[in-house]
Structure 1
């Protein structure tokens, strides 16, 4: 990983580390400096701003209103500094950098690994951190500056987020080849009611989509099984325990091996699509390394969309 530049006041860097860690002690450990030095810098900042930045709670530190304002400024400053560092490295011909990505568990089966493979081949000195989160956590991680990029389905549009790339995938019923539904070209929700339903839990964006479809079909939005991961839903279907609803993303290998069948879901006027988006903060420029990674992720998204026929209407 490239050595970070240290050209801004230590107080800002210390504040940012404490904000992320939730405690002075942990922030100091990550910075590899003494806790007393970090505490002094925080107190100095609070004195200069004439306002407390953290609430000192038994469970840790929590940002005050003034702390939230400063956190937004510091995050922007740190991201701009990171971009400057990346540009300086590019001038030197080093081609180094680090990228933090937040994504969903199901995207770690094909799209993200393919993008990382391409990145490693093109930029072998680029380093990556990949965190797996729920759909609702990813926008917050981007806006808080904890990650550079977020890759997720059905992210609600926010002014603070910039969409870098998008791909669409058909939502469908996933069944075993011996299921009566497997030979169908398309299915409706009512077609699936004779089998136990395997639904995603609320941490899945697709659950909101399905809730609307069930409501419009005047059907109860309940499953005999509800799972918080693509892998769990896949395993339940493989064991003949029902029909799951998802895109092909995350179960690609089982579909290719013929262990599962994905039957597109039709609802009222036609097919149902789920939108996969790649996002970054709207108010900061991306470091060169992050731009390169975003381009490779976008390529992997488009290739998967084309292969699965997700863009067809």
Structure 2
């Protein structure tokens, strides 16, 4: 079902050298070299730039690697679908997401899906939006969610979800009674924020900067779960884009209050898959359920990057 030459070629692309590919595949280096040479003869081009510290795909190699990844994934899909004819509810879904969406949406969505299809298993990888998009582009994840990031080539946007930012304000603070708050008003109270490596922090810093303001959080972290636990314990204002309904929302000890700021109303998340890939049955079913569960008012037009 899978071309040996393409499989060896992709491993060299991934490993950066024939020696490393040989180790990972447990195949002789000479066999890998022969397969690469065979591909280059058939195509009439060099697929790699040979450098002292390794091998880097040429322009032609980049084109072939994109094709090869789709070919391999399609072969896996066909194999999975043939097996699914005997056991329809079997399958494996690989998800990649930024942390907020993973905690607020995906964990519950996976649990809901498995109630209907208990034979389907999942792996959820959490990281930043750039890393998520790269995993989708490389075929290392089936479905990805990113925040405020224009996806790269080779990635299809299945859904655009528009989510204006809310401030989570402890109920005892005067700001909690307002219908909306400004960025300036939040500076009068302790604020906890994601660290500067997070996309949400970039958005928040930009909103403050547009007004000539600088925020000094009492606590920052790259872990959203830790940020929320700290905010609960220390009565800190923090921000979220996970609220599905417009307006003020009761969140237990906090009130989610819309932020009245043009920058903060521009936040969007994208649900991504690899472009031109036919998804396996279980992946397609989970994606359909995820899209159906989105609030209708959140949905934007489906888009695609060529």
* TM-score normalized by the length of structure 2: 0.79
1:117 aligns with 2:98: no
Q: Conserved in 2, the CA contact under 8 Å of 1:86 and 1:289?
A: no
CA shift at 1:144, angstroms? 1.8
Q: Which runs of 5+ in 1 are unaligned?
A: 1-6, 250-254
1:292 aligns with 2:285: yes
Q: Which runs of 5+ in 2 are unaligned?
A: 244-248, 300-306
Q: Conserved in 2, the CA contact under 8 Å of 1:166 and 1:278?
A: yes
* TM-score normalized by the length of structure 1: 0.77
Per the alignment, do residues 94 and 310 of structure 1 end up closer, same or farther by CA in structure 2, a change over 3 Å counting? closer
Q: How does 1:1-313 map to 2 (within 5 A)?
A: 7-22=1-16, 24=18, 27=21, 31=25, 33=27, 37-46=31-40, 48-49=42-43, 50-53=45-48, 55=50, 58=53, 62-92=56-86, 94-156=88-150, 158=152, 160-220=154-214, 223-240=217-234, 242-248=236-242, 258-267=252-261, 272=265, 274-300=267-293, 302=294, 305=295
* In structure 1, distance between residues paired with 2:19 and 2:115: 39
Task: Name the Cα RMSD after superposition.
Answer: 3.3
Q: Conserved in 2, the CA contact under 8 Å of 1:102 and 1:149?
A: yes
Q: Deviations over 1:261-288 (max 9, x none)?
A: 32221126x9825323211122222222
Q: How many correspondences in the alignment?
A: 293
Per the alignment, do residues 265 and 279 of structure 1 end up closer, same or farther by CA in structure 2, a change over 3 Å counting? same
Q: Deviations over 1:192-247 (max 9, x none)?
A: 11124333334433234324422332323654543222123223323437422222
* In structure 2, distance between residues paired with 1:259 and 1:28: 56
Per the alignment, do residues 25 and 241 of structure 1 end up closer, same or farther by CA in structure 2, a change over 3 Å counting? farther
Q: Conserved in 1, the CA contact under 8 Å of 2:92 and 2:283?
A: yes
CA shift at 1:67, angstroms? 2.6
Per the alignment, do residues 19 and 221 of structure 1 end up closer, same or farther by CA in structure 2, a change over 3 Å counting? farther
Per the alignment, do residues 142 and 105 of structure 1 end up closer, same or farther by CA in structure 2, a change over 3 Å counting? same
